[in-house]
Amino acid sequence: MKMNRLGIVCATLTGLAALVMGVHSQEKKESAEAHKIVHFGDLKWTPIIKGCDMAAVAGNPEAEEQPFVIRLRCADGAKVPAHWHPTDENLTVLKGAFLVGMGDAFDESKLQTMNVGNFILMPKEMHHFASNKGETIVQVHGMGPFKVNWVNQSEVQPPDAPAAAAKPKS
């Protein structure tokens, strides 16, 4: 009888130890994958072409086969010349109206309007171009690297140079 009771106690302690280790392991896993809150005001915007800026939201858009999220902010009327990406592009309109068309050259007659909340999946290597109505912000997510290959580099307008510091008068 004492041997049976000893067996039950050992089995109970072993089960309890396994449970504690499992809970500890789960806590460790969850803390390693902590959530991330990104506030709009904390985004670091970088000019990419005339009238458009980009900010990384999550991940590294340049990393090979790693998930990323970026945002593009474009001024009213800003045009994005024809280009393509080596990976799929998943785009959601967050603000304004994003007009997108397919082809090798910017053609206003081919533009389709995407309003706030609209989503488009642009397959890798699909040639496309865009324009904006009102200040427009779109969010792009996918697997890196996120690269822009311009169909005709001469159509790309570089971003405006930052205003030069005022020179002191002599």
Per-residue pLDDT tens over the stretch 115-170: 999 999 999 999 999 999 999 999 999 999 999 999 999 999 999 865 444 444 44
Beta strand 119-122 pairing with 52-58: unpaired
Nearest to 129 by CA among 94, 87, 60, 78: 78
Distance CA 94, CA 113 (A): 13
Show Cβ contacts of residue 84 under 8 Å, excluding neighbours closer than 6 positions: 124, 125, 126, 127, 128, 149, 151
Per-residue pLDDT tens over the stretch 49-88: 999 999 999 999 999 999 999 999 999 999 999 999 999 9
Distance CA 107, CA 123 (A): 20
